[in-house]
Amino acid sequence: MNEFFRIDGEVLFRSFDSETLRIEPWGPDSIRVRAVRMGDVMTDNNWALSRKNASESQIKTENNTASLINGKIRAEVTAAGKLVFYNKKGDILLEEYARNRRDLFSKDCSALEIEGREFRSIPGGDYTLTARFESNPTEKLYGMGQYQQPYLDIKGCRLELAHRNSQASVPFVLSDSGYGFLWNNPAIGDVVFGKNVTEWKALSTTQLDYWITAGDTPAEIVESYADATGTVPMMPEYGLGFWQCKLRYQTQDELMEVAREYKRRKLPIDVIVVDFFHWPKQGDWKFDRDYWPDPDSMIAELKEMGIELMVSIWPTVDRESENYEIMRQRGLLVRTERGVRTTMEFQAPTVFFDPTNPESRDFVWGEAKKNYYDRGVSIFWLDEAEPEYTVYDFDNYRYHAGTNLRIGNLYPLYYAKTFFDGMQKEGQQNVVNLLRCAWAGSQKYGALVWSGDIASSFESMRNQLSAGLNMGIAGLPWWTTDIGGFHGGNPDDENFRELFARWFQWGTFCPVMRLHGDREPHQPQFGTTGGCKCLSGAANEVWSYGEKILEICTRYMELREKMRPYLRILMQQAHEKGTPVMRPLFYEFPEDKTSWLIEDEYMFGDSLLVAPVLEHGGVKRKIYLPAGASWKEYETGSVFDGGQFIEAEAPLESIPVFLRDGRNIFNL
């Protein structure tokens, strides 16, 4: 065997100078790669990879090359250290980008001296890590989570590997070349999917860690990824219906009157939400009894009406909170490296609790359990999950598990875990909590992600469609938006009413149908103490937009009810295999080349094609119907052959929806 290679069971090592490279099978058709400089590869932390599943593999060495074969994927590494991945046909899936003099007779021989795996030392011990791969200029790439841009195909994009309000970095990418790639590193950084090179960068880390899988279809690749990182629980029945929310119900009486009005009007509703600042101080995690005097009777009456109550949780802790001093003394709060110890300033200077600390998780869950869960609240809105720093100086924050630069992207995952573990310990099986952010693997902790505080505009709505589809590809099948957008929008404005109707129609065909927003004009301040110092937006119930819009909303709420049997099937698929609920056309029709080009329509499950109206004044729209199926238009009953573009009518009252091969999912 070449002196550079070593085999230990099913693991292939390559060592040269100060680098140790570890290559091993990690689930069927999948390989995990780790590398370090000046030390041993760490194997005690899997980050997003929840488990190592069984696989059959073999290692071969020949001359100056070693290879690891695992089902449909083969990794080959040269004595010079270059890695190349192949599929079962021998086609290159992914190849490291290296330009140096080591391989004298290869195409990569170059005086540039660019490494495929570059560890650049940072004073103090960590490295800035860059991993480079050859770029296929015609390749199409999908996934990576949620970014506020309209592109479904992210080839050519530069994406920040960091979370912000409305941005969730989930570093898994699917290629139309037949592979999926997970950057298994929670460090702050960026990735560039360039025309000439793909470059992943972690600003502060000690180890290279990524996972790659090969598959014959997008579904096969996504299912392998879900098998490695975990799947969502089964969605409870209340997750299939309509959720009512606004910024914000200021009192118990106000919220109950809205719930009763839905019932008086015989409108379907499954969940109603107590939004933020229902508490005395941030970090108290309890109802302010001045405005919510009897939560027990409120929750009991809601349950009698068949409505679940979801309660907002923020990770912020006010210095005047009853919990601040004890949390500070016990080291349960995020630290700042310099300056005043403040991480967010909304309504008051606050510091985030540190969910990477198990003791901090136990403390926060204990408060939430005592003040909410034990009263009957079984859904939590875990807001500010990025977390949302007032200033995104990522180098200024330190967690129990490490610096923000090194592990900061783990915050939403551990935030979800805080409540998931606590609820499971109490015996709750199907846990679902609403979060504003996620990282790879968050799904296994019951994370339902929404797209953050987005603008109320058609342009923003278009961005959310790409965000939702790419989140599904990145392993987060539970996803939703604020119907109508979050920022602004006056219910009396006819232009906003149009946007609201279009968004409501589209929201019917999202994994969770949830109404929320900060409407204009703001209501007068109800109180001067506690949470009521925070203002509330205008009314945001379906009857707030006039009779015409109410008729549209009512029709689509009833349509959602008819889809419950179908939705149960989709949620079962998400639970068992990680299958996205919202799917790009190519997910169901990978052999249809045109389906890979369509970015403004999608499949809702395997049987329903949805084409939202995404522009002001739109009453018609061009639609592609994939080849390999016939398509029945829901509104007209007209049937079309697949493999063609059509122009469909789209009056304000409806959006185009097509049933695949005549399947009637509304009467299962």
Residue 40: active-site member: no
Q: Specify the pairing of strand 57-62 against strand 189-193.
A: unpaired
CA distances from 515 to 6, 302, 456, 608 (A): 57, 18, 13, 22
CA distances from 60 to 5, 10, 202, 224 (A): 10, 11, 32, 24
Burial class of residue 428, CB neighbours in 10 A (0-12, 13-18, 19+): middle
- Distance of alpha carbon 314 from alpha carbon 207, whole angstroms: 32
Q: What one-character-per-residue DSSP string does 316-363 give?
A: EEETTSTTHHHHHHTT-B-EESSSSS-SB-SSS-EEEB-TTSHHHHHH
Residue 261: active-site member: no
In the chain, DSSP finds a helix count (H) and a strand count (E) of 12, 39
- Distance of alpha carbon 112 from alpha carbon 201, whole angstroms: 19
Q: Give residues with Cβ within 8 angstroms of 304, minimum separation 6.
A: none
The number of residues in the chain equals 668
Residue 386: active-site member: yes
- Distance of alpha carbon 299 from alpha carbon 304, whole angstroms: 9
**Among candidate residues 84, 77, 113, 111, the one with its CA nearest the CA of residue 98:** 113
Q: Among 29, 384, 453, 601, which one carries the catalytic annotation?
A: 453
Q: What one-character-per-residue DSSP string does 149-196 give?
A: SS-SS-TT-EEEES-BTTBEEEEEEEETTTEEEEE---SSEEEEE-SS
Q: Specify the pairing of strand 402-403 against strand 397-399.
A: antiparallel
Q: Does the bond joining 524 to the residue before it have cis omega, within 30 degrees of 0?
A: no
Residue 257 CB neighbours (<10 A): 11
List the structure tokens of 254.
Answer: 């106000």
**Among candidate residues 593, 665, 664, 584, the one with its CA nearest the CA of residue 627:** 593
Specify the 3-state DSSP secondary structure of 305.
coil
Q: Does the bond joining 521 to the residue before it have cis omega, within 30 degrees of 0?
A: yes
Q: Among 199, 223, 383, 388, which one carries the catalytic annotation?
A: 383
Q: Among 275, 386, 482, 601, which one carries the catalytic annotation?
A: 386
| Backbone phi and psi for residue 657, each to the nearest 5 degrees, phi listed first | -135, 135
To 5 degrees, how large is the angle CA 487–CA 490–CA 492? 165
Q: Annotated catalytic sites, by residue?
A: 383, 386, 453
